[in-house]
Amino acid sequence: MPSALITGITGQDGAYLSQFLLDKGYAVHGLLRRSASADVIGERLRWIGVLDRVVLHDGDLMDLSSIIRIVDAVQPDEVYNLAAQSFVHASWQQPILTGNVTGMGAVNMLEAVRIVAPKARFYQASSSEMFGKIQQEKQNERTPFYPRSPYAAAKLYAHWMTVNYRESFGMHASSGILFNHESPLRGIEFVTRKITDGVARIKLGLADELVLGNLEAMRDWGHARDYVRAMWLMLQQETPDDYVIATGRTVAIREFCAIAFGHAGLDWQKHVKTSERFMRPAEVDILLGDAGKAQRVLGWAPGVTLEEMAAEMVEADLARHRAARG
C-alpha cells in the first residue's frame, strides 16, 4: 500500500486529494496544526466522508523538528505540500506570517523530506498568482513571473526553492502552477464561495444583497476535484517537472455572478453591490492558463465546466443554509 503525507489536509484541496488517494488504495496521513477550533478543523474531511480514514499528525510547518519527526515516522512515498496562508487579500495585512508559512514552510517540508525520506516524491502547490501582472496573454511554464501580492511573492519563493532542491539534491520534486480552482469546500472568504453563499442566502430570504470588490477581475476557474488529479499525475512521472494546470477559459467576476445567480433564478444585478473595502491594493486584472504541457505529458484535462461547478456550489450552500434553519 503506497503512503502519502499531505500538509494542508484540512483545506479544500487536501480533502479532495485525500478522497482521491484513498480511492486509489493509499494510506493517507495529514499534518494537523492544533488550535482552539479543533472541533471544526476537520469539517471538510468530515463533509466529504473521509475524516475517519486518514491519520492526522500534530505538527506545524514553522517547527522543523515536528516536520522531521512526522516525515520520519510516516516514511511516505509521496508528499503533497498544500499548506499555506492562502487568502490573497489577507496577505497585505499579514505579510510576514504569509512569508513564513507560505514560503519558508515549503522549505521546511523540502528539508525534512531531503533529510529523512529522500526517495519520497514531493509536490509543491504553486499558484497562478505568481504571474500577477501578466507578461503574456496566456500563461504557461515559460511565462515570466510578476507577483502582485505578498502571497504571490511567498509562493514564488517556495516555487523556486522546489526547483532548487530538485536540481541541487536530485529530489523528485514537482510544482503544479494551479490556476483558480473552486468547489463547495472552498473557504467562505474566497470570492466564488462568497458569491454562491450569497446566492443561497438571498434565495432563502436570509439576505437582500451581496457586497463584492472588483467585478472586472478575470480568472481561469476550474474544479478542485480535477486539479488534485493533476497533482497525483505529476508524481507518477519518471522525471519531476513543473506544470500549469488551468481550463484555458477566463471570465470576469461579474460573469460568475450571472452564472451563479442565474442557477437560482435570480438577477444578479438586483442584488450585487461593490465596495472599496474589498478592493486589492494591487490588482491582478486577468489570468488565463495554457495547460498544453499537462495535456501532452500527463494526459490531463479538466472534466467539470464552470457552469457545472457554480451550480454544484450553489446547491451545496442552499443545502447548508436549509439544514441550519432546521
Which residues are identified as catalytic?
A: 127, 129, 151
Q: How many CB atoms lie within 10 A of CB 33?
A: 18
Read off the DSSP letter of residue 289.
B
Q: Are 141 and 294 in contact (CB under 8 A)?
A: no
C-alpha to C-alpha distance for 287 and 149, rounded to whole angstroms: 14
Q: Cell numbers at residue 255, please?
A: 460573469
Q: What are phi and psi of 9, to 5 degrees?
A: -65, -25
Residue type, 267: D
Contacts of 5 by beta carbon, 8 Å cutoff, 6+ apart: 29, 30, 31, 70, 71, 74, 76, 78, 79, 80, 120
The closest alpha carbon to 310, from 271, 256, 273, 267, belongs to: 256
For helices 306-325 and 253-263, angle between their N-to-C axes, nearest 10 degrees: 60
- DSSP letters for 252-284: EHHHHHHHHHHHTT--GGGTEEE-GGG--SS--
Contacts of 296 by beta carbon, 8 Å cutoff, 6+ apart: none
Burial of 282 (0-12, 13-18, 19+ CB in 10 A): exposed
